[in-house]
Structure 1
Amino acid sequence: MSKTQTPFSALFTILCFLLFLHNNVKSDSFSFNFPNFAPAQDLGLAFFGDARPLGGVIQLTRRDETNGTVTFRPHSVGRAVYILPLQLWDNLTGKLASFETEFRFVVDSAGSEIHGDGLSFFITPFNAEPNIPENSDGGYLGLLSRETAFNTYMNKIVAVEFDSFRNDWDPNPVKIGPHVGIDINSIESEKYIEWPINRVPQRSIGKVVVKYDSKVKELSARLRYVEPVVDFTLTLPIDLSTILPEFVRIGFSGATGDMVESHDILSWSFKLHI
């Protein structure tokens, strides 16, 4: 059974789709680029929960400042989504789009090696609830509620997660707890690789490129740090048209639990060709 949309979220979805239809000129390609998230920009983004644009970045989870002291808020959850629908495949022709998105991010753990919980880039059906699922803090990363997080029949979501705290369902052994994973309809990653977040300097900028090649039907995620050099790519063969509907929504989510850290998106670009 699908989750019922709130009146606000249903109206939000309808208005966004009408705006898409009004502005859409038949085209085989689409792109956008946010080199930063300055307040003066018309971002075309919607923010939910604790997410907000501040200081030229998107803060996915909340940090508070009191008398010059910054603290990270526990059990904070936020989402930032692009408001217009994107056409992932063409129902008439069956053609599937290729896309590439690139973003830079910073996770700040304030020097602690035990911190959490992480962030993600995600794709969901455009007509799905855009708001944050209930009970999705901590290891659920603002993606799925704990009640449905492993129900692959109910969920329709594809995500690349950057998970900094090992939960019971995460990879073993403990030493590879922090990981980058590709999630398909579940918070449990289909494929994953160690994320050496505790071996790079504090506030290091991670550069991510997520690609989908429709010709070979392969999703890939590449993460790079400059110093020390970290560069790896995770790939998963998948036909996205069997997972997601024709029109989708893209965005970021982040969450903390009992353990805390910050999750900032510094820049974001996206391009799609069908």
Structure 2
Amino acid sequence: MVVTSRFVAVEFDTFWNSWDAIVGGNVSIADHVGISISSLTSVRSQIWLSNITGEGVCQAWITYDSVSNNLNVSFTGFDWNNTAVHQDGLVYSVDLRKELPEWVISTATGICSKRIT
């Protein structure tokens, strides 16, 4: 029996894997933020200026508009001068009612059941 888990995830990744995005030719995205729909491969991704090794603290805002079906991810990063910058533009159109079961569990803030309506 094959069990298929349906999920929608926002990935904050500081390590490149073979399934991660390639930008222009052979250039890979090491630090990146991705939106994944029931797969490790992101449907959308964007370079993340994370500065995790420099102990930079980042913030993220994840919103979903059920009318337009847009999942929007904005986050902070750091430019080359170690100045905090706001990064946005990571958007994916997805109908969560079709991708997720009626009840879901959030792992971002702990166990929390939510009903998809």
Normalising by structure 2, we get a TM-score of: 0.77
Alignment of 1:216 with 2:71, yes or no, is no
Who is 2:35 aligned against?
A: 182
8 Å Cα contact 2:77-2:87 kept in structure 1: no
Deviations 1:109-131 (A, max 9, x none): xxxxxxxxxxxxxxxxxxxxxxx
Three-state SS of the structure 2 residue aligned to 1:242 is: helix
Which residue of 164, 171, 174 maps to 2:21?
A: 171
Who is 1:158 aligned against?
A: 8
Q: Which runs of 4+ in 1 moved over 4 A?
A: none
Structure 1: tracts of 5 or more residues without a match: 3-153, 253-264, 266-271
**What is the one-letter code of the residue matched to 2:59?**
K
Structure 2: tracts of 5 or more residues without a match: 110-114
Indicate the structure with greater helix content. Answer: 1
Identical counterparts, % of pairs? 31
**What is the one-letter code of the residue matched to 1:211?**
T
Q: CA deviation at 1:246?
A: 1.1
Who is 1:196 aligned against?
A: 49
Which residue of 78, 97, 102 maps to 1:246?
A: 102
In structure 2, the CA distance between the partners of 1:201 and 1:230, relative to structure 1 (3 Å rule), is: farther
Deviations 1:132-156 (A, max 9, x none): xxxxxxxxxxxxxxxxxxxxxx230
8 Å Cα contact 1:155-1:186 kept in structure 2: no
Distance 2:53 2:101 in 1: 40
Three-state SS of the structure 2 residue aligned to 1:205 is: coil
Aligned-residue Cα RMSD (Å) equals 2.4
Query: Does 1 or 2 have the higher relative contact order (CA < 8 Å, sep 6+)?
Result: 1
Alignment of 1:231 with 2:81, yes or no, is no
Q: For 1:93-172, what aligned pairs fall within 5 Å after superposition?
A: 154-172=4-22
Distance 1:169 1:181 in 2: 12
Three-state SS of the structure 2 residue aligned to 1:170 is: coil
Three-state SS of the structure 2 residue aligned to 1:197 is: coil
| Matched pairs, number | 103
Distance 2:77 2:104 in 1: 30
Deviations 1:160-188 (A, max 9, x none): 001111111112213x2211000000011
Three-state SS of the structure 2 residue aligned to 1:235 is: strand
Q: CA deviation at 1:201?
A: 7.1
Distance 1:215 1:188 in 2: 26
**What is the one-letter code of the residue matched to 1:186?**
S
Deviations 1:183-234 (A, max 9, x none): 0000110000001224x77221111110010010110111024751321221
Who is 1:205 aligned against?
A: 57
Distance 2:18 2:69 in 1: 31
8 Å Cα contact 2:71-2:91 kept in structure 1: yes
Three-state SS of the structure 1 residue aligned to 2:6 is: coil
**What is the one-letter code of the residue matched to 1:171?**
A
Deviations 1:73-121 (A, max 9, x none): xxxxxxxxxxxxxxxxxxxxxxxxxxxxxxxxxxxxxxxxxxxxxxxxx
